């Protein structure tokens, strides 16, 4: 018996799977999907054997560059991308957390120079499993649950 | 030539080199290696000890000092960015020694500046010259850095000196004891760091008896400026006061260090105790800062 799809199939585009349910709206924000004119469907709190529950986003006629996708690794480090053409998955990509992150997240420390002067934030990734960032400037640690994504 | 922003910028070998040089400068403090050099000493927030000891270090090495000790009298008060201020000063001087209340300001300055930057304190973040002078004091009084038991007391949460000292002493198989009220305990990231290295530490909330096996007692002040809630500050400011009675059963070789200024956490009667070392420690600061300057400028 064919498995029922909770989020309907798309003809062409990108499906982002294995997003933690609580990170769905952060992923939407990071990718700027709220301003997108492409057809988008998403589902959340879906059953997942590996993750307990998960979210999925399908975006029609939209493909992402690697550095765009790296941005979501901060909140969805285990996300998987399926690139779809003519209803077929033609490529699978895994999101990888980079060693160093520039300009995506905001330092948690209000007294940090990166929040005061007009400069790009920079972080060393000190843990990739549960993403933990250390600010290049003030050296403060930001845990995954406290990561604020810059608009 | 390299900047010194964070104690982690220096490897174990570089730390040992600074400490050896500091001993050399202590034996022979007046050396003219900074002749014809101009050093900018820029203090965006007040400091007595650090600024005067850096400026003494430059003078003893034969250099000249420009700078300010209060940013209210500079273009910063007109709204000039840190970037512009640093770019300009780097055109004038061979070295910048900087204190700033903004955390990360020194790292940012070191990226802008064409000359080395020595961080003389950036908010609650780093103060590496204090760490090196603490280590110089430990080496001088104990004859070694390896296998020392250090007890850190007071504000272990916000105190930048204890965090940097912990990182730097982790090269030397140190055993740590942390004594702090529950509100001001050593942050978990530093304990994780020690766990990763397999270094031993224990935590206490009581002062008496828990210090008896220490080689170094490192007292800190609970800093009012780090608290947003003054009621919280009042609750913890006088929890630990070190007295001669408490020191009675400690080891003969123990020395009490304190980054100063002290408020009430060490009884004034302790000053006469041979175990008190905090005033000599601050004198060591001049020799250590001479060594840091010589190192970052590649003059030794």
User: Please, are residues B56 and B290 in contact by the beta-carbon 8 Å criterion?
Assistant: no
User: Can you give the pLDDT at residue A43?
Assistant: 92
The residue among B148, B146, B155, B104 whose CA lies nearest residue B125 is: B104
pTM of the model: 0.86
What is the distance in angstroms between the CA of the first residue and the CA of the last residue of chain A? 44
A52-60 vs A13-20, strand pairing mode: antiparallel
Specify whether B263 is located in the same domain as B138. yes
- CB distance B103–A140 less than 8 Å? yes
Q: Which of A113, A118, A141 sits opposite B103 (nearest CB)?
A: A113
Specify whether B162 is located in the same domain as B94. no
Q: Which of B82, B104, B124 sits opposite A135 (nearest CB)?
A: B104
3-class state of residue B257 by DSSP: strand
- CB distance A113–B6 less than 8 Å? no
Specify whether B69 is located in the same domain as B18. yes
DSSP A38: S
Q: How far apart are CA B148 and CA A93, in angstroms?
A: 51
User: Can you give the pLDDT at residue A2?
Assistant: 54
- CB distance B126–A118 less than 8 Å? no
Considering only CB atoms, which chain B residues are within 8 Å of A122? Answer: none
Specify whether B156 is located in the same domain as B274. yes
Q: Which residue in chain B has the smallest CA separation from A133?
A: B189
B112 lies in some domain: yes
Specify whether B105 is located in the same domain as B224. no
- Range with the poorest average pLDDT among A143-147, B63-67, B218-222: A143-147
DSSP A2: P
Percent of chain B with pLDDT over 70: 99
User: Please, are residues A126 and A141 in contact by the beta-carbon 8 Å criterion?
Assistant: yes
Specify whether B15 is located in the same domain as B61. yes
Considering only CB atoms, which chain A residues are within 8 Å of B124? Answer: 111
- CB distance A114–B105 less than 8 Å? no
| Cα–Cα–Cα angle for B199, B205, B206, rounded to 5 degrees | 110
Specify whether B134 is located in the same domain as B71. no
Topology of the domain covering A100-149: SH3 type barrels. (2.30.30)
Beta strands in A6-64 (DSSP E): 13-20, 40-48, 52-60
> Which two structure tokens, joined as six digits, stand for B95?
């070295």
B1 lies in some domain: no
User: What are the helix (H) ranges across B187-277?
Assistant: 188-197, 230-236, 244-247
- Among B residues 76-115, those touching chain A with beta carbons less than 8 Å apart: 81-83, 101-105, 107-108
CA distance A120 to chain B (A): 11
3-class state of residue B98 by DSSP: strand
Greatest extent of chain B over all pairs of C-alpha atoms, in Å: 57
B148 lies in some domain: yes
Q: How far apart are CA B32 and CA A29, in angstroms?
A: 59
Number of domains composing chain B: 2
Specify whether B134 is located in the same domain as B267. yes
Backbone angles phi, psi at B22, to 5 degrees: -60, -40
A112-141, pLDDT tens digit by residue? 999 999 999 999 998 887 889 999 999 998
Specify whether B133 is located in the same domain as B107. no
How far is the CA of B9 from the CAs of A23, A42, B6, B120, B248, in angstroms? 35, 46, 5, 14, 39
Average of per-residue pLDDT across B27-48: 94
Specify whether B61 is located in the same domain as B186. no
**Which residue in A108, A109, A110, A112 has the most chain B C-beta atoms within 10 A of its own C-beta, making it the best mutation to test that interface?**
A112
Average of per-residue pLDDT across A87-111: 90
- CATH assignment of the domain containing B41: 3.40.50.1370
Topology of the domain covering A13-94: Alpha-Beta Plaits (3.30.70)
B154-183, pLDDT tens digit by residue? 999 988 899 999 999 999 999 999 999 888
- CB distance A138–B189 less than 8 Å? no
Average of per-residue pLDDT across A41-63: 91
B136 lies in some domain: yes
Residue B227 has pLDDT above 80, yes or no: no
Beta bridge partners of A35: none
User: Can you give the pLDDT at residue A3?
Assistant: 60
**Which residue in A137, A141, A143 has the most chain B C-beta atoms within 10 A of its own C-beta, making it the best mutation to test that interface?**
A137
DSSP B242: B
Residue B161: domain span: 129-282
- CB distance A117–B123 less than 8 Å? no
Specify whether B98 is located in the same domain as B134. no
Considering only CB atoms, which chain A residues are within 8 Å of B107? Answer: 113, 136-138
User: Can you give the pLDDT at residue A16?
Assistant: 95
Residue B294 has pLDDT above 90, yes or no: yes
- CB distance A117–B126 less than 8 Å? no
CA distance A75 to chain B (A): 21
């Amino acid at each position: 018996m064919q498995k029922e799809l909770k989020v309907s199939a798309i003809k062409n585009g990108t499906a982002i799977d294995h997003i933690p349910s609580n990170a769905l709206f952060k992923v939407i924000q990071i990718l700027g999907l709220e301003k997108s004119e492409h057809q988008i469907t998403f589902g959340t709190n879906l059953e997942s054997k590996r993750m307990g529950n998960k979210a999925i986003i399908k975006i029609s006629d939209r493909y992402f560059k690697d550095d765009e996708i790296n941005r979501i690794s901060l909140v969805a480090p285990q996300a998987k991308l399926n690139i779809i053409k003519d209803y077929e998955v033609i490529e699978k990509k895994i999101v990888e957390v980079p060693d160093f992150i520039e300009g995506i997240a905001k330092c948690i420390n209000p007294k940090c120079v990166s929040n005061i002067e007009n400069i790009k934030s920079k972080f060393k990734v000190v843990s990739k499993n549960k993403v933990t960032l250390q600010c290049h400037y003030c050296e403060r640690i930001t845990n995954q649950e406290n990561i604020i994504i810059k608009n | 030539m390299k900047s010194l922003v964070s104690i982690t910028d220096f490897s174990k070998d570089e730390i040992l080199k600074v400490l050896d040089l500091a001993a050399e400068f202590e034996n022979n403090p007046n050396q003219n290696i900074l002749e014809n050099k101009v050093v900018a000493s820029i203090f965006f927030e007040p400091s007595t000890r650090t600024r005067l000891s850096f400026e003494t270090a430059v003078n003893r090495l034969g250099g000249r000092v420009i700078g300010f000790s209060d940013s209210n009298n500079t273009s910063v008060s007109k709204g000039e960015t840190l970037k512009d201020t640093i770019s300009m000063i780097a055109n004038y001087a061979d070295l910048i020694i900087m204190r700033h209340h903004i955390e990360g300001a020194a790292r940012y300055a070191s990226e802008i500046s064409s000359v080395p930057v020595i961080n003389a304190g950036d908010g609650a973040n780093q103060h590496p010259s204090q760490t090196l002078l603490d280590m110089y004091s430990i080496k001088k009084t104990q004859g070694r850095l390896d296998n020392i038991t250090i007890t850190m007391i007071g504000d272990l949460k916000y105190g930048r000196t204890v965090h940097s000292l912990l990182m730097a002493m982790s090269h030397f198989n140190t055993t740590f004891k942390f004594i702090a009220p529950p509100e001001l305990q050593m942050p978990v990231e530093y304990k994780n760091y020690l766990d990763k290295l397999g270094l031993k530490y224990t935590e206490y909330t009581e002062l008496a008896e828990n210090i008896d096996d220490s080689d170094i007692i490192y007292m800190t002040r609970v800093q009012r400026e780090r608290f947003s809630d003054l009621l919280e500050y009042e609750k913890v400011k006088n929890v630990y006061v070190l007295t001669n009675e408490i020191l009675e059963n400690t080891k003969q070789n123990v020395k009490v260090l304190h980054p100063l200024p002290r408020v009430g956490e060490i009884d004034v009667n302790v000053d006469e105790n041979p175990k008190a070392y905090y005033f000599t420690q601050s004198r060591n600061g001049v020799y250590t800062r001479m060594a840091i300057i010589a190192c970052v400028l590649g003059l030794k």
